[in-house]
Structure formats: structure tokens, C-alpha cells
Amino acid sequence: MDRRSFLGSSLIPLLAGACATPAADTGSPSSSSPQAAGSSERAGVLDAMRRAVRYMDEQVSYRGGYVWAWLPDLSLSWGEMEAKRSMCWIQPPGTPAVAHAFIDAWQAAGDPVFRVAAERAADALVAAQLPCGGWNYIHDFAGEDSLRHWYDTIGRNGWRLEEFQHWYGNATFDDAVSSSAACVLLRVYQAWGSERFRAPLARAIDFVLAAQYSGGIADGGWPQRWPRVPGTAVMKPPYGLPRGARGGMEDGDYTAHVTWNDDVAGENIRFLLLCHLTMDDPRLAPAIRRGMDCMARMQQPAPQAGWGLQHLAKAAGGRPAGAIAAARSYEPRAFATHTTATNIRQLCEFYRLSGDERYLARIPEAIDWLKRCALPEKVLAENPLLKGRTHPTFVDEGSNRARYVHRYGSNVHNGAYYSDHDHRDTLSHYSAGRMLKLDALEAEYQALRALAPEARQALKDNSPLLQRGKGRLPRFFGFGRQSLMDAAEGREDLPALTDEAVAGLLKSLGTRDYWLAPLPAVTNPYRGDGPRKAHGGREYMSRNVGDIYDTSPYDAANPPEIAPYVKRERPEGIVSQDFTRKLGQLTAWLARQPGA
């Protein structure tokens, strides 16, 4: 590994010994690999993994990049929407998730096939990296004209996927897009020290730091997209809403607000923490602390001591900076119960990470508020889409009434989303309710509060934030999302797999070299823009797709109950998430073997 100066790059070199690898840089199998151990069972597992990885790398990927699903003949592919063959999806479970599975396999076996595939996926991410240092949801290797064409056709007509209806030209933190891609670059550089990943990793770190708000109540927070692109389209209903309903993007361009949705802050903090632990970069710990402080600071006052999906980064429309804000047109200005629960868990993690009791101080207020927001039995009985849920997704500011989102029309051109207090006929693609385990949240908080004084002091004295460049990356990333402290301390929880289950995975791979699984979604082909004439029917209110002009994905087994849709079995294809799960199971089995 080259440990020389970065010659002006903002990325400071890794400390010697910060990254151990299970095999030499040549990529040859280690002496403890299944092949070297001579076990026929291990050799069979490793052979199956090699064949599956090589097929994904050489046949399925496009220049090392991956989408979410393909027909077996690769004639049609999908990310979150239908994708061109020349595309790769950065948004998980696309390219970063597959790359992490390859690196995990290499960590368990040290086999060069896995390294080659991982580096090809990382090369695809480098090609997709924007000049700002971050990533968009998708990349088109055919060039920007081809990507713009996709946005102007397929993307524009995805009714429920508003983030794809407009080409921003900038990067996103949504759905861990940029953080997951950056983590891949961090891993491949630390594993093999390949020179070509040094500068892209430095740009990714610079991007996360530059996008962080500075000053005021928003200090330390992150927007959903960055850099800011002026003039972003704001969706409004094409015609009248039901009486008393609210609709449209109530706070304008939501991409500039401080974002908690999909744990944007938590994902960025996790990436910066991993960098901080393995690099001697003095900028990282302060940025992590500022991010943690922003989450605590933006908790709203009691009695509604929660968070929204987003908060205003600066005063707007007569409302102060830090106030809850609306996002997409089906994400109204309201408190979000699931986001509040996520932030409570993160504040507990921040305390473990720092020993700073400020992060625990207002958790009881948030839990008390959530207890008062539970869904009534009458609501649960009258809306089957709320089965198994405990809380409404959205709660009104001030009144504490549950707010429910609906839609009218048949496509993006004649339809719109709106919200009111009617709990019936809610959306199927964005649940009106959430399952929150408040007992577990409260128990976690109480356990931290019950720590002995010496244990509390140890959290402060041994904080990973004080250990700059003295740690190492976890070996495995693909076995569930690690907590901040698990990542900091290198803890890993490998799933256990029986020999029978292993045999089943090998049998299902067969001689094809790829696994088949039911496609999670299908789509209507692009037919042009849908009709703009008002549609008064209710057929699409609680469905994942509208009329045949809607390019949104939907379950083939649960289409709208109107012609020409017909319920059918889910077709089979190659599915990234299925592949990474099965490869991960075999990886975990290998890693658990004696001498692995």
C-alpha cells in the first residue's frame, strides 16, 4: 500500500497498520482459505461463489455497475424504475451494495475473483462520481444526453417517484446514495491501496464536509441534495383539491432543507466516523460532533418534542429556521413518528460514542410525545393498509392530529397528492402508519441512564472520537446495518447457516451460475406523456401505479383492478438484493469455518 503524502489532496494518508488484509496484495488465496485447507465442502462453496460472482461481474454488470434487477436474458432491467442497459444504479441495493458483497467475500476467502469484481464495481462508482464529489441516484455510461433523455421520458412519467421527474445535475444524500458509494471507495482503498481510488475517496470526503451547513440552527446538518440547484420545479396540484385538504410542495424546493429522512445525517456521520478511525484527518471529528449536535438542537419543543422529515435551514414564509418542513408532495409539513424514533436511537448512539449526556437529555420528551400519538383501534379497523402499525406516519403541528396522504387522478399529468385527516383510502406505496417499538426505545434509554458513574466516565475517556487514525474498518459490511459503536469497535454479527441451507443455495445456483428470484416489481413501458384530462375515478388511489402511462414500478401480483391490468405471477429474474443476500450467506458460512 502506498503510504506517501497525498501531495496536496485533502485526504491524509492512512496510518500504518490501520488496515489488515486477509491475503497478500497479489490477490492470491491465503493459506487459510477453503481451497488451501483441502475441504471438499469448503471448496464446493468457494467454487459456487466464484461462479456466481464471475457471472455477475462479466455478464450482468455494465462496465462493473449494477442496477436492481434484470430479466434473465438481460433484455430489460430496473433500478427503482426501468433502466437503460447502459445505466448503473448508485442507490442501494444497486452498485454499492453489490460491491460490498464482493469485498465481504474477499475478506472471507482472499480469492482474486472477488477482488477483481469489487474493483470493477468501485471503478464504476468512480466513473459515476460527479465533479462535486458526490453521486446522483443513477449514472448512464452512455453520457449526459442519454441520461437527460431518460429523465425526460421514463423519469418524467413516474407518478410516485418525484425525485426522478427532474434532472438536478447535482448529488444526493437520500437513501444513503453518496455515503454508500463513498464507503465502497474507502474499503477498496484500505484493502488494496489501489492508487486510482485515492483521489476519488478524497473528493468524496471533501463533498460530505462541504455540504454540511455552517452557522445558525442548521449548523452541522445536511441537505438532501448538494450543491444547490436554483429553479428546481415545485409540484402543485393540476386542479382543485378536496375541501380542507393540503397539497403540493408546501415549503418549496425540499432538497435544500436540513434532512433527517432516511437517516441522512446518521449515514453521513457513519461514513465520517469510519474515515476518522482509519485516517489522520483533523477535520472529521469536529464535523461528526457538529452533525450530532444539529440533530439534538433541532428537536422541537415539548409537548411535540419530535422531528419532521426535514427542517428549514433558514427562515422562510414567515416561519423560523429549524421549523419542520414539507418535502415531496406526499410528505406534508408535519411531524414524522418514524423519523423521531430513528433520531431517538441515534441520540443513544451519539451518547455511546461520546459520553456526552446532552444527547440523552430530551429523549424522554420525545418518547412521551410518541406515546400520545398511537393509532386508535377504530382507525386500524377501518383501514386494512394500517394492519400491524402502531402510529400514524405524520402528525400535525400544533393540534397533534394524525395527517393522512391520498391522491387523485391517474398519472403525474392529471393527478396529485393531498393530505387531510381522513384515515381511509391512504397510499399503498408510502405507508400512512408505522410500527414503533416504544418499549424497546425506552429500555435502551433507561439502560444508558442506569450506567454507573465509572462506566459513564469510560465512555468519555475512550470515545472513538478521540482515537483519530487508531482504528480499522469492520471486516464485513453486508450483514445488516451496523450501529455507530459496532462500526467503531469492529464488532460483527455473522448470520449462522446450516449445512442444509448451504446445500440448498448451491442447488439453487445449479449450473446456471446465477440465482433466479421473483422480480420485486415490473413497470409499464414508456408510451409518452399521459392524458392531462381530469380523472375522477378512484382506481389508483391506493395502488403503486396509475394508468398505463405511469412508469412507476408495481407488483405484478397486485396491479390496479382495472383493464388492461391483469394479476399474474411475479416473473423471475436476476435480483441484486437476492444475489447479495445469498452470496452473503455463503460468505458468512465460510467466515465461520475453523481457520478461515
Note the pTM of the prediction, 2 decimals.
0.93
**What DSSP state is assigned to residue 212?**
S
At 278, which helix (H) or strand (E)? Answer: helix 264-278
Percentage of the chain modeled with pLDDT above 90: 86
Confidence (pLDDT) at 8:
29
The separation between the first and the last C-alpha atoms of the chain, rounded to the nearest angstrom, is: 23
Q: What's phi and psi for 428, nearest 5 deg?
A: -95, -25
Question: Residue 363 is placed in which grid cell?
Answer: 429523549
Q: Distance between CA atoms of 228 and 249, rounded to whole angstroms?
A: 17
CB atoms within 10 A of CB 63: 14
The residue written with cell numbers 453518496 in the block is 178
* Contact in structure between 429 and 544 (CB atoms under 8 Å): yes
* Nearest residue to 99 (alpha-carbon basis) of 556, 471, 580: 580
- Bridge-based pairing of strands 77-78 and 82-83 is antiparallel
User: Is the link from the previous residue into 564 a cis peptide, with omega within 30 of 0?
Assistant: yes
At 405, which helix (H) or strand (E)? Answer: strand 402-408
Confidence (pLDDT) at 96:
98
Question: Residue 69 is placed in which grid cell?
Answer: 434487477
Maximum distance among all alpha carbons in the chain?
A: 73
Confidence (pLDDT) at 434:
98
Confidence (pLDDT) at 478:
85
* Contact in structure between 302 and 363 (CB atoms under 8 Å): no
Confidence (pLDDT) at 596:
67
304-362 pLDDT, tens digit per residue, is 999 999 999 999 999 999 999 999 999 999 999 999 999 999 999 999 999 999 999 99
At 591, is the secondary structure helix, strand, or coil?
helix
Q: What's phi and psi for 545, nearest 5 deg?
A: -140, 155
Please, which residues have CB within 8 angstroms of residue 262's CB and are 6 or more apart in sequence? 174, 175, 176
Instruction: Report mean pLDDT in 10-residue bins for the chain, 596 residues.
Output: 28 31 35 46 96 98 98 98 98 97 96 98 98 98 98 98 95 98 97 93 98 98 95 88 95 96 97 96 98 98 98 96 98 98 98 98 98 98 98 97 98 98 98 98 98 98 95 88 78 85 95 96 98 96 98 98 97 98 96 81
3-class secondary structure per residue, 21-62:
CCCCCCCCCCCCCHHHHCCHHHHHHHHHHHHHHHHHHHHHCE
* Contact in structure between 286 and 321 (CB atoms under 8 Å): no
- The domains of the chain, with CATH numbers, are 15-211+496-596 (no CATH), 213-493 (1.50.10)
CB atoms within 10 A of CB 388: 9
User: Is the link from the previous residue into 495 a cis peptide, with omega within 30 of 0?
Assistant: no
Q: What's phi and psi for 86, nearest 5 deg?
A: -80, 5
Q: Distance between CA atoms of 193 and 1, rounded to whole angstroms?
A: 5
413-472 pLDDT, tens digit per residue, is 999 999 999 999 999 999 999 999 999 999 999 999 999 999 999 999 999 999 999 998
Alpha helices by DSSP H, listed for 282-391, are: 284-297, 337-354, 363-371, 377-382
Q: Distance between CA atoms of 380 and 212, rounded to whole angstroms?
A: 40
At 311, is the secondary structure helix, strand, or coil?
strand
* Nearest residue to 589 (alpha-carbon basis) of 499, 475, 521, 511: 499
Confidence (pLDDT) at 154:
98
Confidence (pLDDT) at 330:
98
The residue written with cell numbers 450482468 in the block is 60
Q: Distance between CA atoms of 297 and 294, rounded to whole angstroms?
A: 5
Q: Distance between CA atoms of 177 and 128, rounded to whole angstroms?
A: 12
